[in-house]
Structure 1
């Protein structure tokens, strides 16, 4: 007669019976509940934290790519000697034939769009208030191609009116108290050239469009101006400061650096979005790993309660173990019975933690809104974090590794007390019964 297969139905039945036993029957239901709740809370915290970290990174990257170029090509500054003296001064590098350069860069495989731009610093003033701003001279078509800038849900005004005015960030509009149709005075240090030198240029423009890019620093400092007007305003007639590049896969933007340098020619340099934000993203990735390790320790501590509960269960069930062994149960069968007792706790706690973690991640916006209401807006400060909201992004990989970690720890810590039960001598267990 062959022995039953491992993990047979009766082993599950005995394990479930022991797990549900009342304390008066020698069970450890209180310890079981403590273990289950601890594992559930640990898995919930792990899943919610990973979701928030993933959402924060995705939102941060999306605000970068939604309002900025994936890569930028510019010319190196040139050193020029004066004709009659030995003085040397540096001239900023600019593109003379920028349309041809943009067309040449657009031919690089994987490049979806190019745009020549003008960039300059100004002082924006209105209503007795002022703010430092960075002006981008772009065409209407290029402005409309920026998803974060032309989002109807977060913008005010008609983007088609851009040709007769300027577009400003919501932060500038708020600080200077301007709305659509109001006038904004821009003061540039490099203005009109006179026999006495260069004087600041002061122009007044109508605000025709107000946008919110989702980034506090962008909304507070950025102004868009029609390209031709920016060339005239900053004394850049017939030239462009940079050529912006947009590619099919921004996450792999480093793969385009060499092809863009070859297409741009001698004296050109490439600066992509990873160069400007790579250190911050690397810090986020490191924090993700650290948080995973820290929360894994919490799950391990919760799992250790399973060991305590099983040791007590084995001690209380010594008589039962002796009877089961005399009835023919092998050491392996007894080990599997008590292993299943711990495994049940780990599996149920993990499932509960997954459900709670997913619910917490899906409602993190509402939770943060409530905390902000209670703290008067101090729970989330856009000027510190950069973005306006705390998003959460549930990823299958994050849920999988949280579940795998919890189950693995639960199964591992169960082995020691289960082996202790399996090695118990039935004669010794029944000697005093």
Structure 2
């Protein structure tokens, strides 16, 4: 063990007397511990909420989605589309035609996103999202509609109702005439076969599903027009690798440019917002942490004044100015390290208890899908916390040491 470290440890853990310096150092370490603990817990809670919401999205979203960068539709007869089916790891792909529509049931009406799908789409979604009836759009001759529970509530509609829901869809290339505005819309009456729920108000109130050919006819599109293709991969498949292969394949299409979206990029705004909130919170708590760390300046300054005689003795024994500075630098840095490591360990312990036992509950009467605050500890969050705290502690401890000569 180096000489400087042994002296710094001696000063830090001296049992001969407890004075104001020891108390200030203890307060500094405690403040750093509490702030580090808070950073670990709060960042883990943000990760937990992101994981929960991501799971809700994943029950409804495809693993990959192919959509045009420009325009609303493209033909599913492109040779490259057929080649995508041959990529290893792809289990199912389902074409979708999607656009806005108005739904009416008696005096109730609301807008929604109408999705035309075929039977392959049943393999994309998870079966546990079916809330009532069945996820079934029938066929071209006898069409049915499946819609979200929140959307059904707005329409006061449900399965087994004797009155069908009326859909109004704008014809994509029709011109609106003031004398005959109805001519720019097609309408159809259709019965509800099922309701779905993913416990997400935005999703449950947004989508309604009908047969894809019926949707094409309503919007006035051709028999092969689609808005996007949803892809489900096999369980052990490398999604990033498949995404790269699809992008390379579609780059050869003339006249169209495509983008391939995964689960995160489908909801990029949501994940971006969550990350911004997470790191803004980190910065706020880090400023609180810096206040605790800055107290080290006062603690070290007092220690240097008290140890003037020791400093002179060490110099007479041959210690250089840099050796003296390193002693007190290590002293301040160890106070930071002790507080940081203790805080991180306690934070991880609290996160583990919260994950296992759900100690802290969400507010009473909450409609969220979980009862307690979720936590998910991420390795790199812990690394960033430790490096940030120790770095600031080292820089802060350096300032008073220049007076230790």
- Using the size of structure 1 for normalisation, the TM-score is 0.68
Q: Say if 1:117 and 1:241, in contact at 8 Å, map to a contact too.
A: yes
Shift of the 324–107 alpha-carbon distance from structure 1 to 2, 3 Å rule, reads same
2:377 paired residue number: 394
Q: For the residues of structure 1 that align with 2:94 and 2:85, how far apart are their CA atoms?
A: 9
Q: Say if 1:75 and 1:94, in contact at 8 Å, map to a contact too.
A: no
Shift of the 409–237 alpha-carbon distance from structure 1 to 2, 3 Å rule, reads closer
Q: Say if 1:129 and 1:176, in contact at 8 Å, map to a contact too.
A: yes
The alignment status of 1:71 with 2:79, answered yes or no, reads no
> Which ranges of structure 1 fall in alignment gaps of 5 or more residues?
78-91, 424-433
Listed as ranges, the matches of 1:133-282 within 5 Å are: 133-147=112-126, 150=127, 152=128, 155-157=130-132, 159=134, 163=138, 165-182=144-161, 185-190=165-170, 200-212=186-198, 215-227=200-212, 230-231=215-216, 238-246=223-231, 248-249=238-239, 253=243, 256-262=246-252, 265-273=253-261, 277-278=267-268
Q: For the residues of structure 2 that align with 1:124 and 1:287, how far apart are their CA atoms?
A: 36
How many Å apart are 1:400 and its aligned residue?
0.6
Q: Say if 1:73 and 1:268, in contact at 8 Å, map to a contact too.
A: no
Q: For the residues of structure 1 that align with 2:186 and 2:11, how far apart are their CA atoms?
A: 88
Q: For the residues of structure 1 that align with 2:14 and 2:224, how far apart are their CA atoms?
A: 82
How many Å apart are 1:116 and its aligned residue?
1.5
1:33 paired residue number: 26
Shift of the 198–292 alpha-carbon distance from structure 1 to 2, 3 Å rule, reads closer
Shift of the 334–97 alpha-carbon distance from structure 1 to 2, 3 Å rule, reads closer
2:101 paired residue number: 122
Select the structure of larger CA radius of gyration. Answer: 1
Select the residue among 318, 335, 352 that pairs with 1:345. Answer: 335
SS at match of 2:393: helix
Shift of the 403–181 alpha-carbon distance from structure 1 to 2, 3 Å rule, reads farther
How many Å apart are 1:257 and its aligned residue?
3.6
How many Å apart are 1:350 and its aligned residue?
0.6
Listed as ranges, the matches of 1:358-377 within 5 Å are: 358=348, 363=354, 370=362, 372-373=363-364
Shift of the 146–7 alpha-carbon distance from structure 1 to 2, 3 Å rule, reads farther
1:426 paired residue number: none
SS at match of 1:355: helix
How many Å apart are 1:40 and its aligned residue?
2.0
How many Å apart are 1:310 and its aligned residue?
1.7
Select the residue among 28, 36, 40 that pairs with 1:43. Answer: 36
SS at match of 2:3: coil
- Using the size of structure 2 for normalisation, the TM-score is 0.72
Q: For the residues of structure 2 that align with 1:360 and 1:323, how far apart are their CA atoms?
A: 46
How many Å apart are 1:122 and its aligned residue?
2.7
Give deviations 1:160-218, integer Å, cap 9, x for gaps. Answer: 65648433223213434445544661322358x9xx95764231312423221x54322
Q: How many residues align?
A: 380
Q: Say if 2:169 and 2:219, in contact at 8 Å, map to a contact too.
A: no
1:431 paired residue number: none
SS at match of 1:71: strand
1:16 paired residue number: 13
Q: Say if 1:304 and 1:413, in contact at 8 Å, map to a contact too.
A: yes
Q: Say if 2:8 and 2:331, in contact at 8 Å, map to a contact too.
A: no
Give deviations 1:292-330, integer Å, cap 9, x for gaps. Answer: 55544433332111121121122234445556666x483
How many Å apart are 1:353 and its aligned residue?
2.2
How many Å apart are 1:241 and its aligned residue?
1.9
1:310 paired residue number: 300
In angstroms, what is the RMSD of aligned CA positions?
A: 4.5
